[in-house]
């Protein structure tokens, strides 16, 4: 039941993104508010179903807390944007967003993984480093440098602005580690499927 509701919310979200309706004001309200129930309910679902995952339940609880933190951050941002109509940057909403990034990383790292030999660890590290270096070059050219220029003379805003793309790169590297570590032991795609679904 909970998975069906999550899938329904995700489907409605995707439908709105693909086919937005209404005047600009209506679109702004819906696009700002539609994230909130999706993330809050997904987080509560993780917390509720964590008990089914044995020794991985701590990881699911942390991920659930991260989803809820993002939902709270989005609610705060929506209030600043729609009610106050002048969202500052940085703002209190960034606390929820940045906390969510940290909780996602922590939660993913708490999942079990098969033991690796020293050689496998080295090879895995090199593989991930090569991929992340390629992505990092692209991010620097098209994202990070733009953030630094946009917030020149605003060190706090620049630091927080850089945290988002750097945090995304960190999460990507962690997901790559999980996928490469678990692929042989769990079968292709099974780990990633477990990260996205609940039994």
Residue 181: pLDDT band by 50, 70, 90 thresholds? low
Residue 103 structure tokens: 């909780």
Q: Is the pLDDT of residue 14 over 90?
A: no
Whether pTM > 0.85 for this model: the answer is: no
Residue 67: pLDDT band by 50, 70, 90 thresholds? very high
Average pLDDT over residues 19-34: 83
C-beta separation of 143 from 89 below 8 A: no
Q: Is the pLDDT of residue 137 over 50?
A: yes
Query: What's the rounded Cα separation, in Å, for the pair 127 and 133?
Result: 10
Residue 96: pLDDT band by 50, 70, 90 thresholds? very high
Residue 186 structure tokens: 């769990």
Q: Is the pLDDT of residue 169 over 50?
A: yes
Cα 78–chain centre separation: 18
Query: What's the rounded Cα separation, in Å, for the pair 171 and 137?
Result: 17
Query: What's the rounded Cα separation, in Å, for the pair 139 and 164?
Result: 11
Q: Residues of the chain with pLDDT > 90: what percent?
A: 18
Q: Is the pLDDT of residue 193 over 70?
A: no
Nearest one of 110, 118, 123 to 174, comparing CA atoms: 110
Domain spans in the chain, listed from the N-terminal domain onward: 1-112, 116-199
C-beta separation of 42 from 195 below 8 A: no
Helix axes 155-186, 118-139, angle to 10 degrees: 140
Average pLDDT over residues 139-152: 77
Q: Residues of the chain with pLDDT > 70: what percent?
A: 85
Nearest one of 6, 10, 18, 13 to 32, comparing CA atoms: 13
């Amino acid at each position: 039941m909970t998975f069906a509701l999550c899938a329904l919310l995700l489907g409605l979200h995707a439908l709105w993104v693909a086919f937005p309706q209404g005047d600009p004001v209506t679109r702004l309200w819906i696009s700002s508010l539609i994230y909130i129930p999706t993330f809050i309910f997904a987080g509560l679902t993780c917390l509720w179903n964590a008990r089914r995952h044995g020794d991985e339940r701590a990881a699911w609880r942390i991920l659930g807390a991260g989803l809820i933190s993002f939902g709270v951050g989005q609610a705060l941002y929506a209030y600043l944007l729609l009610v106050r109509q002048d969202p500052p940057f940085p703002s209190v909403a960034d606390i929820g967003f940045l906390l969510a990034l940290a909780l996602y990383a922590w939660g993913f790292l708490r999942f079990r993984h098969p033991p690796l030999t020293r050689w496998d660890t080295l090879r895995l590290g090199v593989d991930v480093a090569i991929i992340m270096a390629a992505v990092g070059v692209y991010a620097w050219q098209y994202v990070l440098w733009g953030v630094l220029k946009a917030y020149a003379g605003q060190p706090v805003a620049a630091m927080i602005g850089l945290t988002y793309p750097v945090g995304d790169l960190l999460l990507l590297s962690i997901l790559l580690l999980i996928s490469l570590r678990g692929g042989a032991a769990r079968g292709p795609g099974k780990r990633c499927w477990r990260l996205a679904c609940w039994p």
